């Protein structure tokens, strides 16, 4: 059985989730296999170009896979649940999940400038920078406080707290 | 056990593989689940846009999955073999494969204007239109001859000859 660990990231728009996940992935990938799941709740992302063969195939309603010697790209019309995604990617050490707040995963909430205390309910840690004055907030004692700019500290927290999946 | 059938299409550039597969998929999908695998041997296809979050994530070297309520898109740095692709897509009735000539699948070779007889070795049928004069070629008797413009005939051939996978 592989040891696969998963962690989720949450926070308001523009809090820096993507930047933090990218920094963490760049460090982890030097020694580990990394997978990232990004939620696109409003289905805004477009990945193919109208008129291309793969676009034509996808527009028939078919599931489409494009293979090359260095890559595989899979366009599915289906909404896959996290367990299906884990089975699909299969071979990873760390799974970093952006969004998908309802998943039962340990979660780091990211804030800059202000904290939205409603995130405390679904988070095990907060990552903040010095734009935030903690004396203005009642952070529950069970929530760890991380430095948004200290990638190493956050990775250590992940190694301790991520969930085996 | 699901009954999943696979068929491959081959032929020179611009013979009409993509157009035929698209037409077949549009008919089959009215009653069946369809998946299409397209080979991109020179890794030419680009699916994401520089600077997007998913692009940033993929460029770390990580496997990336983007989920939305209506779609799932998986960007992998790995070359997946056909059995892994079948496991990944999982739920289909017909798998239409463009390219990947070495796969052990029944194969239709598509030609317009001229026939390349080297394809006879790896094909169970040829699909041609009236741009080709068959009297110029020695088509082996074990190779079925299909009308490239008769989608229904080709689909019937597929239903009889596709391989369970």
Tally of domains in chain B: 1
Domain with A99 in it: 5-42+80-164
> What is the arithmetic mean of pLDDT over B52-79?
96
Chain A residues in contact with B74 (beta carbon < 8 A):
72-74, 76, 85, 88-89
Instruction: Confirm whether A104 is domain-assigned.
Output: yes
Q: What ipTM score was computed for the predicted complex, to two decimals? A: 0.96
Q: Is residue A154 one of the residues assigned to a domain? A: yes
- What does the alpha-carbon distance between residue A71 and residue A68 come to, in Å, rounded to a whole number? 5
Tokens, residue B14: 């611009």
Nearest to A72 by CA among B106, B82, B165, B164: B82
Pick the closest to residue B113 from B20, B24, B23, B14 (CA basis): B14
Question: Residue A53 and residue B38: Cβ atoms within 8 Å?
Answer: yes
Tokens 């068959």 locate to B134
Name residue, tokens 């709740």.
A41
CA distance B152 to chain A (A): 17
Per the domain annotation, does A109 fall within a domain?
A: yes
Report if residue A65 sits inside a domain.
no
Closest CA to B146 of B135, B132, B165, B164: B132
Cβ A19 vs Cβ A73: under 8 Å: no
Flag whether B132 is in a domain.
Answer: yes
Q: Quick one: average pLDDT of B103-130?
A: 96
Q: Do B48 and A47 touch (CB under 8 A)?
A: yes
pLDDT at B67: 96
Enumerate the β-bridge partners of residue B111: B128
- The ranges of chain A with pLDDT < 70 are 1
Tokens representing residue A6 in the block = 């998963």
The residue among A31 and B99 whose pLDDT is bigger is A31
Q: Is B128 a member of any domain?
A: yes
Q: Is B70 a domain residue?
A: no
Assign residue B33 the CATH number of its domain: 3.40.50.300
Compute φ and ψ for A134, nearest 5 degrees: -60, -20
In the prediction, which pLDDT does B1 show?
58
Q: For residue B59, is it within any domain?
A: no
């Amino acid at each position: 059985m592989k040891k696969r660990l998963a962690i989720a990231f949450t926070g308001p728009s523009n809090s820096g989730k993507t930047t933090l996940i990218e920094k963490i992935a760049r460090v982890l990938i030097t020694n580990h296999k990394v997978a990232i799941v990004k939620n696109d709740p409003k289905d805004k992302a477009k990945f193919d170009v109208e008129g291309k063969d793969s676009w034509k195939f996808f527009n028939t309603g078919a599931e489409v896979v494009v293979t090359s010697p260095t890559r595989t790209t899979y366009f599915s019309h289906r909404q896959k649940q996290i367990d299906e995604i884990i089975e699909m990617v299969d071979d990873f050490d760390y799974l970093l999940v952006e969004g998908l707040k309802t998943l039962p995963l340990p979660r780091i909430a990211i804030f800059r400038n202000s904290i939205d205390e409603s995130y405390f309910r679904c988070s095990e840690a907060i990552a903040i920078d010095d734009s935030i004055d903690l004396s203005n907030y009642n952070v529950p004692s069970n929530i760890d406080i991380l430095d948004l700019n200290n990638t190493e500290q956050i990775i250590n927290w992940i190694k301790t707290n991520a969930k085996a999946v």
